[in-house]
Amino acid sequence: MSIRTAIPNRFAGKTALVTGGTAGIGHAIATELMREGCKVAVSTLPADAGAGREAFSALGFAPLILEGDMANEAFCRQLVGETAKQFGPVHFLVNNAFSFVAAGLDGRREDFERSLQVGPLAFVMMAQEFCRHRSPGGGAIVNVSSISGAIAQPDRWTYNGSKGMVNQLTKCMAMDLAALGVRVNSVSPGWIWTRENEKAAAGDPEKYRRLWGDYCMLRRLGQASEVAAAVLFLLSEDASFITGTDLPVDGGYQSLGPEGLGQNTVIAGTPD
């Protein structure tokens, strides 16, 4: 569900590729781009393709859906080429697909490999291929990172380490691709209501919405469409002088101290 007002035709005549675009944040990004006139291709795992098509169809959209695994280098290379073949030069790349593998001290090598291959390594290959098929006028890349790339969380060496790599890659990509007219930024979502949260809520979504909302200054979880709005801003000409930076979409999560929201904290010097 979108909670924002689309800007008609802001991306008319443009082409975008969104990886992992059939569910959650990726689906919201692809949908909002199409609402604003963009031609969109999305990647998805084959198991998610059917549900993805139905979800887009219900909204009146029919993006190009390409099925495969982002851990497969050949598929990554194919994605951008097929998008360009269908739509022409590619203006925007949104590296969103990621593998949520949570492992720490006991993590297996394959856990780390999966997290890296579907995440930052795929981001690298996609950026390389994007530069070969980009619009002559340049373009923009947005990498979807996470609050997890900036903080420590228990048993998250895999996921947090991989997201941290995305943050550093974004800066390095931005430096090297500026000469090609390509801006590169990232967004770091916080607690966003997605199907992963729905699973974790174990049938009591309202209880967990309140609980997780207490981790954020705004006292609620975010919506996928709010992340999409930030991504579209970074892709747009409104962000024409912004590159190499990360935009947190976290309701103030990263700015909270150990006191949290302070409901039970007495601060010296304040009235009783």
Half-sphere exposure of 140 (CA within 13 A, CB side): 20
Residue whose C-alpha is closest to residue 92's, from 19, 3, 172: 19
Please report whether residue 214 resides in a domain. no
pLDDT tens string 1-54: 556 788 999 999 999 999 999 999 999 999 999 999 999 999 999 999 999 999
Distance CA 230, CA 145 (A): 13
The CB density around residue 211, as the number of other CB atoms within 10 Å, is 13
First to last CA, the chain: 43
* Whole-angstrom distance, CA of residue 46 vs CA of residue 144: 21
Tell me the pLDDT tens digit for each residue of 161-201. Answer: 999 999 999 999 999 999 999 999 999 999 998 877 777 77
Residue 6 lies in a domain: no
What pLDDT digit, counting tens, does each position of 61-115 carry? 999 999 999 999 999 999 999 999 999 999 999 999 999 889 999 999 999 999 9
- 140: phi then psi, degrees, rounded to nearest 5: -150, 145
What does residue 66 show for φ and ψ, rounded to 5 degrees?
-115, 125
Indicate which CATH number applies to the domain containing 21. 3.40.50.720
pLDDT at site 268 = 46
Question: What pLDDT does 204 receive?
Answer: 81
Pick 192 or 272 by higher pLDDT.
192
CA 69 to the chain's CA centroid: 17
Whether the predicted pLDDT of 238 surpasses 80: yes
Q: Residue 2 has what pLDDT?
A: 56
Please return the burial class of 62, using the count of CB atoms within 10 Å of its CB with bins 0-12, 13-18 and 19+.
exposed
Identify the pLDDT of residue 195.
77
Q: How far apart are CA 85 and CA 249, in angstroms?
A: 33
Judged against a pLDDT cut of 60, whether residue 267 lies above it is answered with no
Asked whether residue 243 is domain-assigned, the answer is yes
Please tell me the predicted confidence (pLDDT) of residue 4. Answer: 72
Residue 262 lies in a domain: no
d(CA 21, CA 2): 15
Q: Is residue 3 part of a domain?
A: no
Counted domains in the chain: 1
pTM: 0.93
Residue 53 belongs to what domain range? 15-191+224-252
Categorize the per-residue pLDDT at 272 as very low, low, confident or very high, splitting at 50, 70 and 90. Answer: very low
Per-residue pLDDT at 3: 63
Q: What is the mean pLDDT of the chain?
A: 92
What confidence score (pLDDT) does residue 263 get?
A: 67
Q: How confident is the model at residue 269 (pLDDT cuts 50, 70, 90)?
A: very low
Are 38 and 11 in contact by the 8 Å Cβ rule? The answer is: yes
DSSP notation for 89-102: SB-EEEE-------
In a domain, 52, yes or no: yes
Closest by CA position to 26, among listed 247, 212, 194, 244: 194
The alpha helices in the chain, defined as continuous H runs, are: 24-35, 46-58, 73-87, 109-116, 122-133, 157-177, 195-200, 205-213, 224-235
Sign of CA dihedral 192, 197, 198, 204: negative
**How do residues 216-232 score in pLDDT, each as one tens digit?**
999 999 999 999 999 99
How is residue 192 annotated by DSSP?
A: B
Active site residues: 159
Residues in the chain: 272
Q: Is residue 181 a part of any domain in this protein?
A: yes
